[in-house]
Amino acid sequence: MYKRLLEWLRVLKLSTTLCKQFGYATVEFALTIPLVIMMAVMSVWMLGLTVTDLRLHSAAASAARILARGQALPSNFSQILPEQAQYEVIQEESIVRVSIHMNSKSPIPLIPIPVTVNASAVASREDLPSGP
Amino acid sequence: MTILVTCVVLALLSMAVVVAPLSQIFIQQRITESAADLAAVAGAQNLIDGTQAACAHAGRVARLNATELVHCTSDQSSVYVVVAQEVRSARLHQIIPAVTATAKAGY
């Protein structure tokens, strides 16, 4: 009888330990997985910003070249740019400057990091008899 | 579980530490290439006034595009320029002081 009681106590202790370990794993899972997902989302967002930066610089250089030749920008130029991007054209006496800027916010509302991506390009006007 | 998550977090952090400066250099390289193209075109546009005038105009356009003209030559029909831009990241500046790009334009 005494031996059976000890056996039951041992099984009970083992199951309690297992339950406790399972609880720890759940807490760890609940705390760490959101952190990992958040970091992954931020990484993807930053990668996207890099690609956007490249796109804006390329668009600014192309626009400056087009305007420097005395041609008009394509009508769908603003559609090529990202939605939030705004561009500005400054035509001076001998140069053309195209500036594009875009505001972006982090995709996680808890970490509102505002980022502004700027790109500009200056080209010498070719429609003039002489350069700058 | 904890070890696995720690490894994933460390991997993401180290990737960010390595990838962020590299992507910055990649962007700077593209900007410098664009600036070199624009400077070469500006130089070629003024080639009729001689090499000195062509290189002066190329240098001005390079400066306006936040780069420096480090080399400029020309022949009768084309201008060849090399422009450079200092790497902004202080840590990487010791390894790679500047990114350079070359371009040639003519008629």
Measure the CA–CA gap between A130 and A99, rounded to whole angstroms: 24
For residue B39, give every residue at least 6 positions away whose Cβ sits within 8 Å of its Cβ, in sequence order, or none.
B58, B59, B61, B62, B65, B67, B69, B81, B83, B103
Give strand pairing partners of B103: B81
Which range (A16-25, A66-75, A92-101, B22-31) has the least confidence? A16-25
What is the nearest CA distance from A11 to chain B, expressed in angstroms? 26
Task: Kindly report the length of chain A.
Answer: 132
pLDDT, mean of residues A94-104: 93
End-to-end CA distance of chain A: 106
Domain of residue A61: give its range. 2-124
The partner residue sitting opposite A39, judged by closest CB among B12, B38, B45, is B12
Measure the CA–CA gap between A62 and B102, rounded to whole angstroms: 18
Residue A61 lies in a domain: yes
Write out chain B residues lying below 8 Å of A47, CB-based. 19, 23
What is the phi-psi region of residue A100: left when phi exceeds 0, alpha when psi lies from -120 to 50, beta otherwise?
beta
Domain of residue B87: give its range. 2-106
Write out chain B residues lying below 8 Å of A65, CB-based. 37-38, 41
Task: Find the DSSP H helices in chain A.
Answer: 2-68, 77-80
Look at chain A and report how many structural domains it folds into. 1
Task: Find the DSSP H helices in A69-131.
Answer: 77-80
Residue A130 lies in a domain: no
pLDDT band at A132 (very low <50, low <70, confident <90, very high): very low
Q: Is A2 helix (H, G, I), strand (E, B) or coil?
A: helix
Determine whether A57 is exposed, middle or buried from the number of CB atoms within 10 Å of its CB (0-12, 13-18, 19+).
buried
Residue A82 lies in a domain: yes
pLDDT at residue A13 greater than cutoff 80: no
The partner residue sitting opposite A124, judged by closest CB among B30, B49, B61, is B61
Q: Count of CB atoms within 10 A of residue A77's CB?
A: 15
pLDDT at residue A105 greater than cutoff 80: yes
Higher pLDDT, A86 or B7: A86
> Which tokens hold the place of A6?
């000890």
Residue A11 lies in a domain: yes
Which range (A82-86, A96-100, B34-38, B53-57) has the least confidence? A82-86
Q: Best mutation site among A32, A122, A128, A130 for testing chain B: the one with the most B CBs within 10 Å? A: A122
Q: What is the pLDDT of residue B10?
A: 84
DSSP string, B57-80: HHHHHHHHTT-EEEEEEE-SSEEE
Measure the CA–CA gap between A78 and B33, rounded to whole angstroms: 23
Look at chain B and report how many structural domains it folds into. 1
ipTM of the complex: 0.83
Render pLDDT for A35-90 as a digit per residue (tens, 0 to 9). 888 888 888 888 899 999 999 999 999 999 999 998 999 888 888 888 889 999 99
Residue A42 lies in a domain: yes
Question: Over pLDDT 70: what percentage of chain B?
Answer: 99
Residue A53 lies in a domain: yes
| Sign of the dihedral through C-alpha A105, A63, A55, A57 | negative
